[in-house]
Amino acid sequence: MQVGKCIGIVLLWIAGLVFVFAGINTNDPYLVPLRGPGNLLLAVASIAVAYILIRRVAWRRRSWAGRLLVVLWSLPPLAMLAAHGVFEVRKHRVLQADPVLTRSLGRHFIVGYRSFDEVVPLVERGFIAGIYVTRRNVAGRAAEPLKAEIAALQARRHAAGLPPLMVATDQEGGIVSHLAPPLTRLPALASLAELAPDERKAKAEEFGRIHGRELASLGINLNFAPVLDLRPEAKRNQLDFNTLTNQRAISDDPAKVSAVAGAYIHGLESAGVSATVKHFPGLGRVRADTHHFDADLDTPVGELEATDWRPFRDVLSTSGARLMVGHVAVSALDPGRPASHSKAVVDGLIRKTWNYQGIVVTDDLVMGAIYQHDVCTAVVEALNAGVDLLLVAYDGLQFYRLFACATDAAERGGLDTAMLRDSETRLRRAQLID
């Protein structure tokens, strides 16, 4: 009996510490599922446990351990209130930023959102250049409400005298078909890789036209597809729950990847939707899931140029595609620093060596490989490296933290004005800003 009681007390202490940790970190992207009703449930549960401890055991025995346990279980709601207060203060500070600075930096951000009201202030006041829509924006509803929502945001944008929003999504086909349903669920482009060349080209272009036509009908003008990573040879990492390159990559043959992707992009662009090739420098050799873990690419540059990077160079030279840079460090160029904010990779390799002067966008900055480190440094280094668009997709509320990082850097002279001017030129040339 005593052993069981001791175990129960230990479990109460552990659970209380977990609840406090959740309360302190309630705004963390990993705890997005707890927001709203989840936070309310956590607070109610904490108060209920504290009440029971006071009434039945801990307080009446007047032991210091008992009283500390009561205090512990009283802390989670207070921690949540404090975390929410910090978020609201930061949000207020961002929304009060100088309008000129706001619009200057805002042209570099694409933000995901969960509700219309959440994103309206950012749209109307030029804090962002675009929005990202995904399965949460269509969950449980038809295509028409999303179409109307995008149209309403564009109308507000127009009324504010701002350029139209970029409206982006991930509609690759296969397992990454975030808007299917309600849109058509097409197979992965990998299903076309072994067809005869003429049939392969025709089918890939048809897939692009279908995606382009359906996305354009909703008001979406930017697709984060196709994937140009080479299919990995090794077995899948069991801790990879998100990247899943072996299911998303077209082929392990660079020539086939180039052919299928190029035809797909042609079809997509024919409907007025821009493509974004990803995830440079390539995830085919990377086993770590950058949604959660750091990753390094240790392969020599010469070998990468002949294999993994060949599809990127082929497709970028023959299309108007954007380039998404992932959170993988290229050891031979900039060890330890993810390519998404590496000047050696973006400005050195992509801009100068390859002479690619199109639009470069980061992978989601809310991913663990970036967010769990110094995300402020990543934001500033990305802008200074010549990245044009910063993506905040999974948890759009993190925008306020990331934008504050950018404004703080600008105010202390930490942003490279020459790089920002070059980026502005590229954005204007791509007709993304006036």
Q: What is the mean pLDDT of each run of 10 residues along the chain (434 residues)?
A: 75 93 93 88 92 71 75 94 95 95 96 96 97 95 95 97 97 96 96 96 98 98 97 69 83 97 98 97 89 92 97 96 97 96 98 97 94 93 98 96 97 97 96 86
3-state secondary structure of 72: helix
Residue 117 tokens, joined: 């009201």
Calpha distance 388→33 (Å, rounded): 30
* Cα 126 from Cα 107, distance rounded (Å): 7
Rounded-to-integer distance, Cα 146 and Cα 126, Å: 21
51/24 same-domain check: yes
The answer to whether 249 and 230 are in contact (CB under 8 A) is yes
Do the domain assignments include residue 161?
Answer: yes
For residues 205 and 297, state if they share a domain: yes
Cβ-based neighbours of 114, under 8 Å, separated by 6 or more: 136, 137, 396
Catalytic residue among 229, 240, 363, 416: 363
Question: Is the domain of 226 the same as that of 314?
Answer: yes
Q: For residue 311, which of 246, 361, 261, 363 has the smallest C-alpha distance?
A: 261
Residue 296 three-state SS: strand
Active site residue 289: no
134 belongs to a structural domain: yes
Which of 211, 266, 279, 291 is flagged as catalytic?
A: 291
Q: Is residue 384 part of a domain?
A: yes
309 and 279 in contact (C-beta within 8 Å)? no
Radius of gyration of the CA atoms of the chain, in A: 24
State how far the Cα of 84 lies from the Cα of 371, in Å rounded to an integer. 19
210 with 155, same domain? yes
Co-location of 396 and 289 in the same domain: yes
Nearest to 130 by CA among 148, 146, 106, 114: 106
| Residue at a domain's end among 77, 92, 107 | 92
Of the residues 92, 107, 122, the one at which a domain ends? 92
Residues 164, 21 within the same domain:
no
pLDDT value, residue 363: 97
Claim to verify: residue 84 and residue 102 sit in the same structural domain: no
Same domain, 269 and 403: yes
**What domain range is 195 assigned to?**
97-429
Q: How many domains does the chain have?
A: 2
Closest CA to 123 of 131, 133, 115: 131
Question: Judging by DSSP bridges, how do beta strands 296-297 and 329-330 pair with one another?
Answer: parallel
Per DSSP, which regions of 259-309 are E strands? 274-280, 296-297
Q: How far is CA 355 from CA 24, 142, 153, 374, 423, in A?
A: 46, 43, 35, 30, 14
Beta bridge partners of 194: none
Our answer to whether residue 291 is catalytic in this structure is yes
Instruction: Please give the pLDDT value at position 218.
Output: 98
Which pLDDT score, from 0 to 100, does residue 359 have? 98
- Do 181 and 66 reside in the same domain of the chain? no
434 is a domain residue = no
End position of a domain, from candidates 92, 113, 146: 92
